[in-house]
């Protein structure tokens, strides 16, 4: 059932109610009764042959970049690799001779 009424702002609206009284839809405000009745006619016409489309849920927003903890871990891992590479290089005999001058 369509119920036509005047709201608190003196605009006309309509609501579509189910047989048990549940409000299924509420219209926008219309400036006069004639426009509201035209709105009801449009709903009657389009609701019966309207397509059903599913609107996907918005994807969660991620932060702009990696978190500070992730950046710190990455930097720490890079530093560990550098230290390990220098230590391995220092174990090679030719590196020891080249790095330290003879006294």
pLDDT tens-digit series, residues 66-96: 666 666 677 777 888 888 777 777 776 664 4
Q: What is the pLDDT of residue 93?
A: 63
Exposed / middle / buried, residue 74 (Cβ in 10 Å: 0-12, 13-18, 19+): exposed
Per the CB < 8 A criterion, the answer to whether 15 and 2 are in contact is yes
Q: What is the pLDDT of residue 47?
A: 81
Per the CB < 8 A criterion, the answer to whether 11 and 27 are in contact is no
């Amino acid at each position: 059932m369509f119920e036509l009424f005047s709201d608190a702002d003196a605009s006309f609206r309509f609501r579509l109610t189910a047989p048990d009284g549940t409000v299924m839809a509420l219209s926008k405000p219309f400036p006069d009764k004639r426009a509201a009745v035209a709105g009801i006619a449009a709903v009657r016409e389009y609701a019966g042959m309207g397509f059903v489309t599913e609107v996907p849920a918005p994807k969660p927003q991620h932060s702009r970049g990696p978190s500070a903890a992730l950046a710190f871990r990455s930097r720490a891992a890079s530093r560990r690799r550098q230290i390990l590479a220098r230590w391995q290089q220092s174990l090679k005999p030719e590196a020891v001779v080249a790095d330290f001058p003879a006294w």
